[in-house]
Amino acid sequence: MENSPDIIVVGGGGSGLATAVSAAEHGANVLLLEKQPALGGTTGIAVGSFTANGTRLQERNGIKDSPESHEMDSGRFATTDIEARNNNALRKFFLSHSADTLHWLMDMGLSFHGPNPEPPNRVPRMHNVIPGAKAYVATLHARLVNIGGTVRVNSPVQRLLRNDNGAVTGVAVLYKDGKETEFFASRGVVLAAGDYANCPSTISRFKGDRYASIEGINLNAKGDGHRLAESAGAKLLNMDVTYGPELRFVPPPGKTFQQLLPKSGVGARLLGHLLPFIPQFAMNAMISRLLVTWQHPESSLFDDGAILINRKGERFCDETLWPEREIAVAAQPEKECFILLDRSLAERYSQWPKFISTAPKIAYAYVADYLRLRPDIAVQSPSIETVAERHNIPADALHKTIEATNNARTSADLKPFDDLRWTILGPAKAYFTTTEGGAAINQQFQTLDENGRPIPGLYAVGQTGLGGQILWGHGLHIAWAMTSGRLAGRHVAQLRFE
């Protein structure tokens, strides 16, 4: 019965789809409710890396690995003060199930490139889904529909339904036409509603007002899951911890190359079979395209003398200070900025070890890559008027900014700009990539109240159910979304009631 399934999953991104598929594979009748017109969430706009240990791909490459060693290395990505707040037991539990999750996805038809190295991981652990993260969404969705799960899009869950004992029994969806419909679940409600990267009120509450005007990359990441969990009494952990803010170039108009590749069905399987025969340089070229899509410019650019200007051609901050730089960018017209490089800087950022952006040790994107692959955000010319005109920046204001910058550059290591050739990269904005706060959970994915007691009927996975883990570095968020979903779906489906 659609209105009274065994399990209701709130959210159709990576963790929600994984929960629903796993629950249906274990015999449950599942209803997945997605707020947006399409499935995907942040998972659907991600790069797609999945970091895991003890995988078949590692074994094939002669790499020996273990959850213990992975856990040790995972603690080396965040700063010491942030890492001190990690839920060690939960992260170790997660990492000991990551390979099984990757194999589950591979058996469903997904293909991965790698493993790729990412220090301080001591061995290569990063597996990159082919052709990109939308493949997770397409494959899991197809599998869910094949095994009888029900998906309803345009269905924002507004509140949780609870019985007199406080147990969560279902959800209420508020439709666009103002009508509310209640859905009841006999075994449980799983919150898989992503993060709050674009929820100014939650960001202000936990991180401070000065961060409130910084956007999330995913404009739909509104923290509904956290709000729903809290409304049932769940404790929220590490809510002030965020991945970012950081500067990122705005996305390209239209579809990227990866988005045009097949993500499921025969086309995707063929791509997977061809994978071992695709030479490394071609894979790197493909990944380079991803790099110029959502990557952030390296901060070393500013240490080396690049400046930020706004749409009026003005400089507005000390570019070397984080997060003041990002906060200042969010206060500029249209929340945008541009990076100005002179000829010598552009030449330095044209070869290793200086690069504009990177996926560490996989590929690097230089000035020329941006000029070739992102002409919408990269312009170069001997004339300052030409580069300014491209973005409707007043050239006379830019001249004044350059003059003032040069006058202030008295130090020997920061040379005044030469005026032989100019490059402008942008617009870029300050974004939160993800937020790292989540509901407290146990290893059965039950949400926990302030006293550590499970809230009956309410489960949380993915970014909503981070449970106090610190998952910095590349590839752990998707690995957690998929692993928590797979395990939670199985667990809730197998619940037996007297």
Residue 52: in which H helix or E strand, if any?
Answer: none
In angstroms, give the least distance from the CB of 249 to ligand FAD.
Answer: 11
3-state secondary structure of 111: strand
User: Quick one: which of 339, 129, 375, 387 has its CA closest to 252?
Assistant: 375
Q: What SS3 class is residue 264?
A: coil
Binder among 16, 115, 245, 272 for ligand FAD (CB under 6 A): 16
> Does 438 engage in binding with ligand FAD (CB under 6 A)?
no
157 binds ligand FAD per the rule CB under 6 A? yes
What span, in angstroms and rounded, lies between the C-alpha atoms of 17 and 141? 7
CA distance 58 to 146: 31
Query: Of 5, 41, 115, 305, which lies in the binding site for ligand FAD, with binding defined by CB under 6 A?
Result: 41
Q: How far is CA 253 from CA 249, 376, 387, in A?
A: 12, 8, 20
Spell out the alpha helix ranges (H) of 241-341.
257-260, 265-274, 280-294, 300-303, 324-329
Smallest gap from residue 107 Cβ to ligand FAD (A): 20
Q: Which two tokens stand for residue 215?
A: 């956007």
Enter the DSSP assignment of 234.
B
Instruction: State the binding string over 47-86 for ligand FAD (x if CB under 6 A, else -).
Output: xxx-------------------------------------
Which among 23-31, 349-357, 360-368, 476-484 is the span making contact with ligand FAD, rule CB under 6 A?
476-484
Q: Identify whether the C-beta of residue 20 lies closer than 8 Å to the C-beta of residue 30.
A: yes
- Quote the CA–CA distance of 91 and 471 in Å, as a whole number: 8
Find, among 399, 494, 374, the residue nearest to 445 by Cα.
494
User: According to the binding rule CB under 6 A, does residue 14 interact with ligand FAD?
Assistant: yes
In this structure, what is the dihedral angle of CA atoms 171, 175, 180, 186, given to the nearest 10 degrees? -30
- Give me the least distance between CB of 47 and ligand FAD, in Å please: 3
- Asked if 217 interacts with ligand FAD (CB under 6 A), we say yes
Residue 86 DSSP code: -
Cβ proximity to ligand FAD: between 309 and 329 the closer is: 329
Find out whether 346 and 297 touch, Cβ atoms under 8 Å. Answer: no
- What minimum distance in Å lies between the beta carbon of 464 and ligand FAD? 6
Neighbour tally for 401: CB within 10 Å: 20
By CB under 6 A, residue 489 contacts ligand FAD: no
Instruction: Verify binding: residue 35, ligand FAD, rule CB under 6 A.
Output: yes
Q: Which of 54, 67, 149, 156 binds ligand FAD (CB under 6 A)?
A: 156
User: Is residue 114 at the binding interface for ligand FAD, with CB under 6 A as the rule?
Assistant: no
Q: In what order do the strands lie in the sheet with 446-448?
A: 150-152, 30-33, 7-10, 188-191, 454-460, 446-448
* Site membership for ligand FAD, residue 245 (CB under 6 A): no
Q: Is 435 in the site for ligand FAD (CB under 6 A)?
A: no
Min. distance of Cβ 327 from ligand FAD in angstroms? 19
Closer Cβ to ligand FAD, 135 or 384, answer by number:
135
Q: Collapsing DSSP states into helix, strand and coil, what is residue 179?
A: coil
Single out the residue of 22, 29, 42, 58 in contact with ligand FAD (rule: CB under 6 A): 42
Q: Is 15 in the site for ligand FAD (CB under 6 A)?
A: yes
Q: Specify the stretch interacting with ligand FAD by CB under 6 A; choose among 80-88, 97-105, 202-210, 217-225.
A: 217-225
H or E element in which residue 128 lies: strand 126-130
Q: How far is the CB of 55 from ligand FAD (least distance, A)?
A: 15
CA gap 339, 86 in Å, rounded: 35
**Residue reference for tokens 């030469």:** 418
**Residue of 67, 149, 426, 462 that binds ligand FAD (CB under 6 A):** 462
In angstroms, what is the minimal distance from the CB of 192 to ligand FAD? 5
Q: Does 362 bind ligand FAD (CB under 6 A)?
A: no
At 286, the amino acid letter reads M
- Per DSSP, 383 falls in state -
Per-residue contact flags (x/-) with ligand FAD for residues 190 to 209, judged by CB under 6 A: --xxx---------------
* Interface stretch with ligand FAD, choices 46-54, 93-101, 312-320, 348-356 (CB under 6 A): 46-54
Q: How many residues bind ligand FAD (CB under 6 A)?
A: 41
Which tokens go with 133?
């993260």
What residues are paired with 449 via a beta bridge? 234
HSE-CB at 437 with a 13 A cutoff on CA atoms is 27
In terms of CB distance, is 345 or 479 closer to ligand FAD? 479
**Does residue number 215 form part of the binding site for ligand FAD (CB under 6 A)?**
no
Nearest distance, CB of residue 235 and ligand FAD, angstroms: 18
101 binds ligand FAD (CB under 6 A): no
Q: Given the rule CB under 6 A, which of 34-42, 263-271, 314-322, 344-352 is the region that contacts ligand FAD?
A: 34-42
Q: By the criterion CB under 6 A, which residues form the site for ligand FAD?
A: 10-16, 33-36, 40-43, 45-49, 156-157, 192-194, 217-218, 220-221, 224, 294, 433-434, 462-463, 474-478, 481
